[in-house]
Structure 1
Amino acid sequence: MEERIKNLIDYCQGVLRKENGKVLYERYLKDIQTITPMDLIHIENEQLKMGNKPEELLTVVDKLINVFYKYLKEFAMEAPTEGTFLYYLMEENKEFTEKLHTFKMVVKEREWDTYKEKTLVFLNEMMEYEEHLLKIENILFPMLEKKKDRFNGMQIMWALHDQVRKKLKKLHAHIEKDRLGTEEINMEMGLLYFQLFGLVQKQELILFPAAKETLSAEEFSDMHYQSREYGFPYIEKPKHFTKPEKEGKMNEDPTDNHQILHLETGSLSMDQIKSMLDVLPLDMTLVDEKDQVVYFSRPKERIFPRSPAIIGRNVRNCHPPQSVHVVEDILEAFKNNEKEQASFWIQRNSQFILIQYVALRDDEGKYAGTLEISQEVSQIRALEGERRLLQWMDEK
């Protein structure tokens, strides 16, 4: 590791330990002046490897950005080509930032009679940014992780996303139920404004330049195609998504999809297997014995977003940082033959979602991976009495 990077890590750790900021700055100024977006990603990842938690590092991220800002700004990338993955992310950010500035003017007007109503409208608009964040988490992050281990440091940015999500939901609920006075709302909205603006700043100052430096034009084209299943907040959704040549191919043999898989209970073609898996009303994700994602199904009604970019991704990086330890505990229990299944259920708006993790084993009982199965079961839970097969004929 370069001496310069070691010094920058020492500086960040000093800030984390709340040492004298002025002394630290003067001691490491020469190194601070050389920092690049890729350096910062490297530094954050090294701190995670040292045992620091994402939530812990988040407490000083804004301080560090303020110090590094002038030098990171020198690496501002050229505007991405129109119609590319990064182009649309930046267009969304442009409109998002405009909405932030508009609401800032609402606060300055101090028209308290309509303030609550306008604030709720603003918060609802901010929640639409979720689709933007999901594209970053499920498409861009995994593509970067495959390139360099240092991009595991993106866990910190994901933790920041989750902080903002919680803040938005909590603030919306408090205002809607009149739990906050006008001045309290004003203060909380001010804090939220800087958090939201900070998301854009970190993406365009650090993440996007590093991505452009790391990924090829073909990879950006692939990511744009994957984004077709997501929303495009604040802008018109693109009309054209060019399908990569590799999409949907088993290998170079075009007859592979017609090959037959012979099993003890029957025989199926590859086309039949794909159709069968995708028609099931289940979100399924398969993780192999090395903890890497190897497959996910594509039901008509998705429950959780999935993109081809996650194939080959370590399953730990597919979950928010605060829940990774639970995933690790489940996998460990499966590998040690202590458990065969883990079930959870959550409520999301009108949906009741059952999430199950099932251990896969070979004929000798050796651990072969984990299958995650998610299902929306509210209709099943509401069933009463019985409905027999012959009744279908009567109802045609």
Structure 2
Amino acid sequence: MSSHKENLTQFVEGLINKEDVQKLYQTYEADIQVITPMEVFEMMSARMRAGETPQALLPFVDKLINVFYMPLKGFQWQRPAPDTFLNYLMLENDALIGILEAFKNVIKSSHLIDEKPAIAKLLKQCFAYESHLQKLENILFPYLEKRNNHFEGLKIMWTLHDETRRIMKTMDANVSRLDTNEALLKVQLGQLYFKLYGLVQKQDLLLFPAATSCLSDADFLAMHMQSFDYVFPYISRPEKPDIALETLLYEHGGVAYEYQEMLGDEKLIQTETGIMTITQMIQMLNHLPVDITFVDAEDKVAFFTKPKKRIFPRSPAVIGRDVRNCHPAESVHVVERILEDFRNGVRDQETFWIQMKEMFILIQYFAVRDESGQYMGTLEVSQEIGEIRRLTGEKRLLSS
């Protein structure tokens, strides 16, 4: 006798091969009625690993959800508690649906061209949903991928995000034109509604329930802390918990823990944005196509990089030297003014550019401050940008 998952796989295979949907449903109804969100991801991941693309699978996913809608809607899962990562995502979705519902009367207008101001306002509200999508792509998706190897199907959801973005951009261009195409605008509104409602539905029926089945409370707390780097569209920004994110990321069980273990015993640099060995950090900095020099809060040279083609020579003897002594006497007053302004908060950045031999050099100075705004020093970054200045058009393919 075939297993439950084998039966679901056969059902999906039949749908893809355009077999009779009614007969397929009758054959596999018992298995369809107890399908779980995680099993949908598993089936989509299997198709992805078999070589099918997210773009090709996307139309099929909508058909699949139509068939699975009732069992997925009835699936029992632990709803998120208030003031949690998923809870705020769901509140954002509720607010978006409210915006779309309130706009339905405008869509019924027989003269959409007269509703351009209202449509432009709707688009602005829809563009705000970008922050919600970024939180899914940059926070939730990575956690799911690291916790379970059955989340290849998330690429399909990301493709849906990108399709929605394209519709909003082309629709915005149409609305902004003096000769707006009204017939096209009607089609675009329909597409936008279908995509946005579909996004919310897929999150509610699949993504959020699956996430709760494989992520821990500590994971969700870490994700919540990271979400404060983004906007909370449509809802009031919550108060950020007073918790060290590094602790959540790197304690046993955190998403970065396994990578930290893999790096071995070499001394690590560990922050909320990542972990690297000191060797990795130094080589990364030295491979950047820029000269970098850091001057500390006491105006002493503390660090510099050694790229393959350094523009301004530096030697280790300069470490600890007063930066004023590193410049010709005639330009020291400029250096002192920059340091004084940075230290006093008058400015945070200064930029110069010079022609030197055949090079066009961009020189930038940045005030470095801690999270409380306390001045820590100055970063000097120099780059030869002649080739960059000559760039035109686009390059999207690898060089041969």
* TM-score (normalised: structure 1): 0.62
Deviation at 1:142, TM superposition (A): 1.0
Aligned equivalents of 1:47, 1:169: Cα separation in 2: 30
Q: Which amino acid aligns with 2:209?
A: P
Report the alpha carbon displacement of residue 21 of structure 1 after superposing the two structures with TM.
Answer: 2.2
Question: 1:67-118: CA deviations, max 9, x gaps?
Answer: 1001111115354211000110001001011011111121124454631121
- Structure 1, unmatched stretches of 5+, are 253-268, 279-283, 289-293, 296-339, 343-359, 361-386
Higher RCO (C-alpha under 8 Å, 6+ residues apart): 1
2-structure distance, mates of 1:249, 1:161: 27
Q: CA deviation at 1:389?
A: 5.9
- Separation (CA, whole Å) in 1 of partners of 2:102 and 2:249: 47
Distance 1:210 1:180 in 2: 42
Q: How does 1:47-126 map to 2 (within 5 A)?
A: 47-110=47-110, 112=112, 114-126=114-126
Identity of aligned residues (%): 37
Deviations 1:232-287 (A, max 9, x none): 000011112242474399889xxxxxxxxxxxxxxxx98xx789xx9xxxxx9999
Structure 2: stretches of 5+ with no match in the other structure: 253-266, 282-286, 290-306, 308-329, 342-400
Residues matched between the structures, number: 278
1:166-212 deviation line (CA, Å, top 9, x unaligned): 11111111221246422321122012101100100000111101111
1:247 aligned counterpart, secondary structure: helix
Q: Map 1:226-265; keep pairs closer than 5 Å.
A: 226-244=226-244, 246-247=246-247
The change in CA–CA distance for 1:53 and 1:89 in structure 2 (over 3 A counts) is: same
- The aligned residue for residue 177 of structure 2 is 177
**In structure 2, do the counterparts of structure 1 residues 14 and 341 end up closer, same or farther at CA, with 3 Å as the change threshold?**
farther
Given that residues 174 and 181 in structure 2 are in contact (C-alpha distance below 8 angstroms), is that contact kept between their aligned partners in structure 1? no
- The equivalent of 1:257 in structure 2 is none
CA distance in 2, matches of 1:205, 1:22: 23
**For the aligned residues, what is the CA RMSD?**
3.4
- 1:34 is aligned to 34
Change (3 A) 1:9 1:180: farther
Partner of 2:217: 217
Given that 1:38 and 1:206 are in contact with CA atoms closer than 8 Å, whether structure 2 keeps it comes out as yes
- 1:133 positional shift: 0.7
Check the 8 A contact 2:218/2:248 in 1, yes or no: no
Distance in 2 of aligned mates of 1:123 and 1:187: 15
TM-score by length of 2: 0.62
CA drift of 1:153 comes to 1.9
Cα deviation 1:138-182 (Å, max 9, x = unaligned): 111111111110022211111111111111111111221246422
Residues 220-369 of structure 1 aligned to structure 2 (within 5 Å): 220-244=220-244, 246-247=246-247
Partner Cα separation in structure 1 for residue 115 and residue 334 of structure 2: 55
- Structure 1 SS opposite 2:210: helix
Quick check: 124-133 or 70-79, which moved more?
Answer: 70-79
Structure 1 residues 232 and 52: alpha-carbon distance in aligned structure 2, compared to 1, 3 A threshold: same
Query: What amino acid maps onto 2:190 in structure 1?
Result: G
Quote the Cα distance in structure 2 between the aligned partners of 1:216 and 1:394. Answer: 52
Q: Distance in 2 between matches of 1:102 and 1:208?
A: 25
Query: 1:158 maps to which residue?
Result: 158
